[in-house]
Each structure stands twice: as C-alpha cells, then as structure tokens.
C-alpha cells in the first residue's frame, strides 16, 4: 500500500471511530434526556403506583409529572380503606388523589373494587350476625360498594382493577375466601357487570400475581374464557409483574400476552419491579429459611454496579417484549416512584432494596437508560 493510501485508510478508520463515538454519545444523551412517558407514547401508557397523599408530597412531583402518564393510588381505594364498616364510607383520600391527578394531567387507575382475599376484605362483608352472609347478601353488598366507587369517579378514572388476586396458588381454581365459598366464580362475573353498569366507558381489569407462570396461567386462561363466554365485560388482564432478578420469566410473560390477545383481551403490566435480593426462598419448605433471610440485607450501603447492570439488562429485555406486543398492552405501571419508596424495602422482610428505575434521590439508574433504549429502539447502553 502506498503511503498516501495508508494515510487515507487511517483517516477513514479515525473518522469512523470518532463518528461512532459521537453517535454513541448522542444515543446516551437521548436516553437520559428523554422521559418515559414520551418514549412510551406510541406504545402504551407508562404508569406508577404512588402514595395516597401525593398532593402533599411536593418533593415527588417533579419526577412523577415528568416521567409518568398514569397513577394508581397505593391504598386509599382498597375496600378496607373505603368502607371499613358497612355504610361507613371513607373517600376523602381517594377524592384528593383523583383531584390531584386530574389537575396535573395524569390518568388514574382505580385499585381495587374487590380483593378476593379474606385478610384484605373487611370481615363485615362476609358476616350476617352470627352466620356467614348468604350469596344474595354478599352480592348486594358488593354491588353497593362497586356502584358507589365507580359512579363517584365516573369519567375521571380510566381503568379499574375490578377483582384482585382471585386465582389459587395451589391446586384449586379459585382462592379459598368468603367470596369463592359463597358464590364460586359468580362473584367475579357480577363484579365486572356492576362496574360496567356504573361506568360503561372505563377499562375493566382482572389483576393477579404469578398469573403468567404455568399452572396459574391455565387458570387465568380458564377465567377469561369463562367470562367472555358469559359476555362479561372484562377488557384486560393485569400481570402484576413483581419479579426477582435473574428469575424474570420472560418466555412465560410473552406466551401469556399472546394467549390473552388470542382470547380478545388487553394486557396491563400493573405493578412492575425487579427485586435485586431474591426472596423466593421465603415461602419455600414451610418458611424454613425465614429466620436466615430476615437478617439478609446485602445492599444496605448501595447496590453494586454489576447488579444494577444485570437489573438494567433484564428491564431492557422486558421492555423489548412489551414493545413487540404494544398492540395488546394498554399500560405498563411500576410499583412505586423510586427505590426509597418501594414496598420491597419492607416485604417480606426489612432490607434496603433497589428494584426500580430511579434511586433514592430520584436519579435515573442504569435500568432507566436501558428501558429508554428499548423504547426508542436504540442499542443497549
Ligand atoms: C399487591 C396489591 C397492591 C399492593 C402490592 C404490595 O400486589 O395488588 O395493591 O398492595 O401487593 O404493595
């Protein structure tokens, strides 16, 4: 090669290295400068579950309003908070929440009308003096509860979680509860009918955890099929999405989204987080590991960069799946605004956790850039 040719080819290499670098810098800028709600716009709503008293929490407003388009109140619309005793309505916090959201251009997810767990339903629902409430009485109480909440916020709530967590984790179809004992599947059918009658324009969701995993997924399919055969107005299934690092069931999630589309319902990812401290053993072998786990707090002083990187990669993989199926997915909501507010700092034992896209100061973590790249179809950082 002549000297001139060698110099020229060196120049070409140099120029392409430099322009490659500047492209990468540009991509990184776009990832950190954009916002989730903008990047998600053409795919689905990006939501978040937040503290009921959001209006008083000025420190949260900038992050919330810049990044998210939908909000779910963590607790104030749950049956136990709204109607702790029969006819004793407690809607002040829910009213404040909906007012704040409406004024600030955020859409609201109502959560939830029925929580099909005895521990989460005020006991009075299921009692009639000394005896268990009859099916008729229970359904009548449920109708009044649903009608009151849905009517009050008609036009201001975009989606309702109608029934939460009714599928059994073991061998049964439905979880054993006052609801399933009195009515079988019928309470689910009725809950959707009552909600639809109170607001025919709201998107109605059945919400659960682990319902993408084999076993529970078959029950989820059975439920949706049975409801649609009965012409029940169910519009979407919520996958809560409380995942653990290195155990995110990517294929099961994708298969479930496809199954739901085939059944004619939408999917929402309703409570997404990726726990960096695996917790599965908590429930294993009759609680044998609980003592040991309750002392486990490995990331008290901060989460190591390699763990944050793995978490970021796994979030990216999830959002690639969500983007591929954006025709079926109506919303992806995180559960809590930033790491410092995550329920996983306390559940199932106390530890310093790092499951979300923003750190305790509200600054974006590597997972944020990874999700932004997945949404923007850019190479992963
Ligand atoms: C479930 C419920 C939520 C919330 C989380 C934990 O997933 O649906 O309302 O209670 O648990 O905070």
Please report whether residue 8 resides in a domain: no
What is the pLDDT at residue 17? 46
Please report whether residue 170 resides in a domain: yes
Nearest to 64 by CA among 77, 41, 46: 46
- How many Å lie between the centroid of ligand 1 and the Cα of residue 30? 33
Pairing of strands 242-244, 236-239: unpaired
Check pLDDT > 70 for residue 27: no
Q: Write the CATH number for 220.
A: 3.20.20.80
Range of the domain at 320: 35-376
Q: Is the CB of 240 under 6 A from ligand 1?
A: yes
Ligand 1 atom nearest residue 209's Cα: 7
How much is the average pLDDT of 103-117? 98
- How many Å lie between the centroid of ligand 1 and the Cα of residue 158? 19
Check pLDDT > 70 for residue 1: no
Check pLDDT > 80 for residue 306: yes
Average pLDDT, the chain: 93
Q: Using 50, 70 and 90 to split pLDDT, how confident is the model at 18? A: very low
Nearest to 159 by CA among 125, 118, 113, 121: 113
Rounded to two decimals, what is the model's pTM? 0.91
Please report whether residue 338 resides in a domain: yes
Interatomic CA distance for residues 5 and 11, integer angstroms: 10
- Summarize pLDDT for 177-219 with one digit per residue, the tens: 999 999 999 999 999 999 999 999 999 999 999 999 999 999 9
Please report whether residue 20 resides in a domain: no
What is the pLDDT at residue 23? 45
Ligand 1 atom nearest residue 207's Cα: 8
Ligand 1 atom nearest residue 111's Cα: 9
What is the pLDDT at residue 6? 56
What is the pLDDT at residue 11? 43
Please report whether residue 21 resides in a domain: no
- Summarize pLDDT for 81-102 with one digit per residue, the tens: 999 999 999 999 999 999 999 9
- Summarize pLDDT for 50-75 with one digit per residue, the tens: 999 999 999 999 999 999 999 999 99
Q: Is the CB of 271 under 6 A from ligand 1?
A: yes
Please report whether residue 244 resides in a domain: yes
Provide the 3-class DSSP secondary structure of residue 335.
strand
Among 335, 341, 345, residue to substitute to test ligand 1 (most atoms within 8 Å of Cβ):
335
Active-site residues: which are they?
A: 165, 271
- How many Å lie between the centroid of ligand 1 and the Cα of residue 112? 10
DSSP state of 301: T
What is the pLDDT at residue 177? 97
The total of structural domains in the chain comes to 1
Please report whether residue 9 resides in a domain: no
Interatomic CA distance for residues 64 and 82, integer angstroms: 25
Please report whether residue 330 resides in a domain: yes
- How many Å lie between the centroid of ligand 1 and the Cα of residue 286? 23
What is the pLDDT at residue 26? 45
Provide the 3-class DSSP secondary structure of residue 318.
helix
- How many Å lie between the centroid of ligand 1 and the Cα of residue 341? 13
Judge residue 254's burial from the number of C-beta atoms within 10 Å of its C-beta, 0-12 exposed, 13-18 middle, 19 or more buried.
Answer: middle
Q: Is the CB of 164 under 6 A from ligand 1?
A: yes
How much is the average pLDDT of 317-331? 98
Ligand 1 atom nearest residue 78's Cα: 9
What is the pLDDT at residue 380? 87
- Summarize pLDDT for 270-298 with one digit per residue, the tens: 999 999 999 999 999 999 999 999 999 99
Looking at ligand 1, which residue's alpha carbon is closest to its atom 9?
A: 74
Q: Is the CB of 343 under 6 A from ligand 1?
A: yes
């Amino acid at each position: 090669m002549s000297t001139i040719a060698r110099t020229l080819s060196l120049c070409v290499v140099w120029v392409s290295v430099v322009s490659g670098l500047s492209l990468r810098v540009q991509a990184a800028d776009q990832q950190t400068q954009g916002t989730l709600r903008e990047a998600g716009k053409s795919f689905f709503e990006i939501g978040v579950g937040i503290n009921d008293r959001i209006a008083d929490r000025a420190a949260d407003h900038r992050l919330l309003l810049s990044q998210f388009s939908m909000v779910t109140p963590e607790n104030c619309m749950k049956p136990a908070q709204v109607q702790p005793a029969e006819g004793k309505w407690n809607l002040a916090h829910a009213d404040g929440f909906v007012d704040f959201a409406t004024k600030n251009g955020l859409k609201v997810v109502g959560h939830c009308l029925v929580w099909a767990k005895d521990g989460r339903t005020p006991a009075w629902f299921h009692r009639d003096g000394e005896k268990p409430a009859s099916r008729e009485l229970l359904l009548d109480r449920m109708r009044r509860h649903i009608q009151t909440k849905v009517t009050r916020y008609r036009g201001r709530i975009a989606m309702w979680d109608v029934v939460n967590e009714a599928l059994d984790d073991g061998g049964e179809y439905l979880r054993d509860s006052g609801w399933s004992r009195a009515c079988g599947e019928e309470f689910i059918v009725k809950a959707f009918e009552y909600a639809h009658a109170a607001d025919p324009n709201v998107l109605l969701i059945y919400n659960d955890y682990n319902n993408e995993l084999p076993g529970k997924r078959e029950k989820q399919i059975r439920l949706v099929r049975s409801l649609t055969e009965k012409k029940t107005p169910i519009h979407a299934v919520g996958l809560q999405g409380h995942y653990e690092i290195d155990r995110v069931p990517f294929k099961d999630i994708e298969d479930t989204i496809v199954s739901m589309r085939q059944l004619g319902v939408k999917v929402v990812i309703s409570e997404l987080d990726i726990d960096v401290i695996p917790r599965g053993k908590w429930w294993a072998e009759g609680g044998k590991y609980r003592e040991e786990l309750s002392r486990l707090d490995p990331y008290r002083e901060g989460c190591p960069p390699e763990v944050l990187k793995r978490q970021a990669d796994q979030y990216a993989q999830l959002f690639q799946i969500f983007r591929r199926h954006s025709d079926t997915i109506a919303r992806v909501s995180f559960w809590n605004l930033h790491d410092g507010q995550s329920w996983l700092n306390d559940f199932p034992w106390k530890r310093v956790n790092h499951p979300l896209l923003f750190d305790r100061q509200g600054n974006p973590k590597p997972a944020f850039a990874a999700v932004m790249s997945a949404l923007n179809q850019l190479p992963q950082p």
